[in-house]
Amino acid sequence: MSTVVRSWTEDDVERYAAAVGGTGMQPGFAIAVAQFGGPQVEMDADMTQVLHAEQSLTLSGELPLSGTVEVTRHVTDVFDKGSGALIVREWRATGDAEFSTRASLFVRGAGGFGGPRGTTTRLPMPDRAPDVELGFRTSADQADRYRLTGDDNPLHWDPVFAERGGFPRPILHGLATYGITARLLADELDVLAVGCRFAAPVFPGDELLVSAWRVGDEVRFRTAVNHTTVIDDGRATPRS
C-alpha cells in the first residue's frame, strides 16, 4: 500500500475532456488523477502482453475544477487464470474530492503460479430494446489526445509495439473508450458510478454505440463498434 498527493487544475480538466470528446469536468477524470493517467502493473511484465480487463469508478459528487487529494493505492488480488495473471488494484482518494476506482489487468503468459483462480461474474443485459442509445465517432487522433492525459503506453501510439502485442495498428486506450462511455451516460442519465469489463479493442476512428437499460435503481449498459461488443457487463448508478 502507498499514499501519494495529487493535484489538478482547470487546464488538466479541459485536456481530459477533449480526450473523451467533451468539455468541462467529466466523470472519468477522477481515474486520470488517481492512476497517473493509466493503470500500472505490479510485476516485471512485457507490456505488449498486458491487457486492461476491467474498470470501475465511484464518485461522491462532481469533482471541483481544481483541487488536491490524497490517494491510497494497493493491490487487492492477484489471480492465476492459467493462461495469464489477473492483477486487481484499487485507489481511494480523500480531500477536495472523494472517490474510489478499481482496475484489473490481465498479463498474458504470467499464469500457472499456483495462486487462487478467482471467480468470473457476467452481467446479462435485458432481453428488450435499450431504453437509451448514445453514439460517438472517435477521431483518428483520439489516442493522441488521450495520451496527453498521462497514459503513455506505446500500445496506443507505436505501430511496432502494437504489432508485437498482436494488433494490426495502435489501439485506442481502454480508458478512453471508458471515459467516452461514462461521459455519454453522465450527460444522459446523470450517473456517479460506472463499472465495466473490456471485451474487444477499439481503434481510433471507430464509432461507438452505447446501449443502456434502466433496471430498478441502476443502469446496465454495453458499448459496441460495428455490432461487436467492446465494453460489456456495464453497470452504472444514477445520482438519484
Catalytic center residues: 151, 156
Contact 53, 95 (CB under 8 A): no
CA distance 59 to 90: 14
CA distance 225 to 210: 9
Amino acid in the structure at residue 79: F
Reported as type and span, the H/E element at residue 93 is strand 84-95
Q: At what angle do helices 10-19 and 174-189 cross, to 10 degrees?
A: 100
Cell representation of residue 95: 480531500
Contact 90, 100 (CB under 8 A): yes
Helix, strand and coil in the chain, % to nearest 5: 20, 40, 40
Buried b (16+ CB within 10 A) or exposed e, 214-236: eeeeebbbbbbbeeebbbbbbbb
Contact 89, 77 (CB under 8 A): no
